[in-house]
Structure 1
Amino acid sequence: MDVEFIRHKFEDSYDGVLTKTKFKLGVRHLQMLYMFVCSLVLGMLRGSNGIGVLAIADYTRKNDTYVPIHNWDMRIQGTVLSSFLFGYALILVPAELYLKQVVDKLILTAVLLINGGVAAAMPTIVNKGGWVAVCNAQFLMGMTQACLTPVNLKLISNWLPPGEREIFGFIIQGAILLGTIISLPISGLLTESRLSWELVFYSQAMMTLSMAVIWGLLTASSPERHQAIGDTEKEFIRESLAGYRQKKLQRPWQRILQTKQFWALAVAHSAANVLFVFFLFEIPAFLQSLQLSIRICSWQAALPFAAMWMVHAMTAPAVELIYRFGYINYLFDVKYFRKIINGLGSCGIIIGLTILPSLVSNWNHLGVIVLIGTLGLVGLQFSGFLENHKDMTQNYPGTLMVMTSAVASVTGALVPLVSGLVIGDDVTNLSRWRVVFMSLAGFCVVCCVVYSMFASSSRQPWDGTIKQKFGYSNDATNLELEELSETKIKNRCFEADTVV
Structure 2
Amino acid sequence: MVLRMIQGLGQSCFVAGMHRAFGKWAPLEERSQLTAFAYGGQPLGTVVGLLLTGYLAASPVGWPGVFRFYGLLSLFVAIIFCLLGADSPGQHPRISVAERQYIEESLRNTEEKRKKHLKVPWKKLLCCRGVIAVAIAHVGQGWFQITMYSEIPSFMDKVMEVDIKINGLLTALPFLVMWFTNFFFSWFIDMIIAKKWLSVTNARKLAQSIGTIPTILGLLSLAYVKKDIVVVETILIITCACEPAVFSGFFVNVIDLAPNFAGTIISISNFTTQVFGSMAPVVAGFVLNEDVTSQHLWAKLFFIVSGVYLVTYLIYVSIGSAEVQKWNDPEEETRKNVVTGEENPMLHTT
Q: For this structure pair, what is the TM-score category when the shorter chain's length is used for normalisation?
A: 0.7 to 0.9
**1:310, 1:379 within 8 Å by CA — same for their partners in 2?**
no
Q: Counterpart of 1:312 in structure 2: which amino acid? A: N
- Residue 178 of structure 1: which of 40, 44, 47 is its match? 44
Deviations 1:296-351 (A, max 9, x none): 222222122222222221111221121132123xxxx6643322331232221111
- Pair 1:246–1:170, CA change in 2 (3 A): farther
> Deviation at 1:266?
0.8
Correspondence for 1:137: 3
Query: What is the SS of the residue equivalent to 1:426?
Result: coil
Query: What is the SS of the residue equivalent to 2:303?
Result: helix
- Residue 256 of structure 1: which of 125, 133, 136 is its match? 125
**1:335, 1:457 within 8 Å by CA — same for their partners in 2?**
yes
> Deviation at 1:393?
2.4
Deviations 1:408-463 (A, max 9, x none): 22222221111111111511112211110001111111111111111112233433
Matches within 5 A, 1:339-488: 339-359=205-225, 361-465=226-330
1:199 counterpart = 2:69: no
| Separation in structure 1 between the aligned mates of residue 67 and residue 178 of structure 2, nearest angstrom | 25
- Pair 1:267–1:210, CA change in 2 (3 A): closer
**1:265, 1:385 within 8 Å by CA — same for their partners in 2?**
yes
- Residue 134 of structure 2: which of 258, 265, 287 is its match? 265
Specify every segment of 5 or more residues in structure 2 that has no aligned partner in the other structure, as ranges.
85-91, 102-109, 333-346
Correspondence for 2:193: 323
- Pair 1:397–1:287, CA change in 2 (3 A): same
Residues paired across the two proteins, number? 309
Specify every segment of 5 or more residues in structure 1 that has no aligned partner in the other structure, as ranges.
1-134, 224-233, 468-484, 486-490, 492-500
Matches within 5 A, 1:199-238: 199-206=62-69, 208-209=71-72, 212=75
Higher relative contact order (CA 8 A, sep 6+): 2
**Identity across matched positions, percent:** 24
1:292 counterpart = 2:155: no
- Pair 1:465–1:190, CA change in 2 (3 A): closer
- Pair 1:453–1:200, CA change in 2 (3 A): same
Correspondence for 1:275: 144
TM-score by length of 1: 0.54
**2:147, 2:280 within 8 Å by CA — same for their partners in 1?**
yes
Matches within 5 A, 1:87-166: 135-148=1-14
TM-score by length of 2: 0.74
| Separation in structure 2 between the aligned mates of residue 162 and residue 335 of structure 1, nearest angstrom | 20
> Deviation at 1:270?
1.6
> Deviation at 1:192?
3.6
Correspondence for 1:476: none
- Pair 1:171–1:453, CA change in 2 (3 A): closer
| Separation in structure 2 between the aligned mates of residue 353 and residue 287 of structure 1, nearest angstrom | 14
Correspondence for 1:71: none
Q: Counterpart of 1:295 in structure 2: which amino acid? A: K
| Separation in structure 2 between the aligned mates of residue 442 and residue 153 of structure 1, nearest angstrom | 28
**2:15, 2:267 within 8 Å by CA — same for their partners in 1?**
no
| Separation in structure 1 between the aligned mates of residue 187 and residue 58 of structure 2, nearest angstrom | 41
Q: Counterpart of 2:320 in structure 1: which amino acid? A: A
| Separation in structure 2 between the aligned mates of residue 220 and residue 262 of structure 1, nearest angstrom | 29
| Separation in structure 2 between the aligned mates of residue 279 and residue 235 of structure 1, nearest angstrom | 40
Correspondence for 2:184: 314
> Deviation at 1:222?
6.8
**1:311, 1:376 within 8 Å by CA — same for their partners in 2?**
yes
Correspondence for 1:18: none
Deviations 1:54-85 (A, max 9, x none): xxxxxxxxxxxxxxxxxxxxxxxxxxxxxxxx
| Separation in structure 2 between the aligned mates of residue 286 and residue 295 of structure 1, nearest angstrom | 14
Deviations 1:352-394 (A, max 9, x none): 11111222x3323221111122122221122222232233224
- Pair 1:144–1:305, CA change in 2 (3 A): same
| Separation in structure 2 between the aligned mates of residue 219 and residue 275 of structure 1, nearest angstrom | 31
> Deviation at 1:136?
3.5
Correspondence for 1:14: none
| Separation in structure 2 between the aligned mates of residue 457 and residue 465 of structure 1, nearest angstrom | 18
> Deviation at 1:171?
6.3
Q: Counterpart of 1:285 in structure 2: which amino acid? A: S
